[in-house]
């Protein structure tokens, strides 16, 4: 029997993983985006609705990450029929949680499922990157982990240049997203174009320490290495309200470290248990509440499987 409708979920992700700018990313267990795909007699992609975006995202499929990724899958499959998409945004826009990547990934997985999943999950990477390129450039620091899950080391846009890193068993996160939009374009514009040799050596050394800590499952060393960003975070710190205060509050509540998630403004605290993550999330939320800054908090873990098909009918 032909599948008439497919629904897929793609998780939020954190590019950079602290010190590892554009090199390491992680998929969070939640939140994420959901895309529903249905057949359409006309070729191409139609976006019938977007929910949860406050009317901000384009419905034009050529300008929407989900639409572009879906169309790329159709082209790769040589499809003669088109699809209609409904996008359910579970991620805030411009939040540093890989919102555009999640929409692209969920759309690609949903369309592939509509065809009975002829393409292996890894083969959807180029289509997802096509979608992400509409707003954030052709780079898989968010798309890679959202699609494939886990913690991924990214050294290029080809699948062969994406490596899965070990995920410490007790690794958990506390996330807080203050209600301040930080676009990827703005966050990129403030970065230095050149760095000193001393800064380069320190940064690459910290990334090496981070990878070593992951392989040893040493959460404390991992968090310490993540915080040793002497290039990107200092340039972006002024974009994130109460960054220094949040780091202090998180550690007092038991976090092992705190970093900017992607381009921000979401902050990600590294924790070692579910209870600890909930406690730290509550403390971070209280900090922003007291400052009169609206915010969202969440305790979460690592999504080891990445995107997944939720239903086919």
- Residues annotated catalytic, as ranges: 132, 184
Helix then strand then coil, in percent of the chain rounded to 5, is 40, 25, 35
Q: Which of 130, 133, 143 is nearest to 98 (CA)?
A: 143
**Cα 34 to Cα 194: distance, rounded to the nearest angstrom:** 39
| Helix (H) / strand (E) containing 188 | helix 184-189
Q: Are 43 and 127 in contact (CB under 8 A)?
A: no
DSSP secondary structure of 118-133: -S-GGGGHHHHHHHHT
> Given phi > 0 = left and psi -120 to 50 = alpha, else beta, which region is 242?
left
Q: Which of 284, 229, 226 is nearest to 251 (CA)?
A: 284
Q: In what order do the strands lie in the sheet with 267-271?
A: 257-260, 267-271, 172-178, 295-300
Q: Are 29 and 303 in contact (CB under 8 A)?
A: yes
Q: Which of 169, 132, 137, 134 is nearest to 150 (CA)?
A: 169
């Amino acid at each position: 029997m032909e599948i008439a409708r497919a629904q897929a979920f793609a998780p939020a992700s954190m590019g950079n993983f602290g010190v590892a700018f554009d090199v390491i990313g992680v998929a969070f267990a939640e939140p994420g985006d959901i895309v529903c795909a249905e057949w359409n007699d006309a070729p191409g992609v139609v976006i019938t609705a977007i929910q949860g975006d406050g009317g901000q995202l384009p419905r034009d499929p050529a300008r929407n990450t989900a639409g572009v990724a879906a169309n790329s899958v159709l082209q790769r499959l040589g499809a003669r029929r088109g699809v209609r998409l409904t996008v359910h945004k579970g991620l805030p826009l411009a939040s540093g949680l890989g919102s555009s990547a999640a929409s692209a990934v969920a759309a690609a997985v949903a369309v592939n499922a509509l065809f009975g999943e002829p393409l292996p999950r890894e083969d959807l990477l180029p289509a997802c990157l096509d979608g992400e390129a509409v707003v954030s450039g052709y780079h898989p620091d968010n798309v890679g982990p959202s699609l494939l899950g886990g913690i991924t080391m990214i050294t290029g846009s080809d699948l062969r240049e994406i490596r899965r890193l070990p995920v410490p068993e007790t690794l958990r996160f506390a996330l807080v997203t203050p209600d301040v939009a930080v676009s990827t374009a703005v966050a990129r514009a403030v970065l230095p174009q050149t760095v000193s040799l001393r800064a380069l050596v320190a940064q690459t050394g910290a990334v090496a320490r981070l990878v070593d800590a992951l392989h040893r499952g040493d959460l404390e060393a991992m968090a310490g290495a993540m915080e040793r960003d002497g290039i990107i975070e200092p340039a972006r710190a002024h974009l994130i309200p109460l960054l220094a205060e949040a780091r202090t509050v998180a550690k007092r509540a038991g976090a092992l470290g705190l970093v900017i998630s992607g381009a921000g403004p979401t902050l990600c605290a590294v924790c070692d248990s579910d209870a600890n993550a909930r406690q730290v999330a509550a403390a971070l939320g209280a900090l922003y509440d007291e400052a009169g800054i609206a915010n969202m908090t969440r305790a979460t873990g690592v999504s080891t499987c990445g995107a997944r098909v939720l239903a086919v009918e």
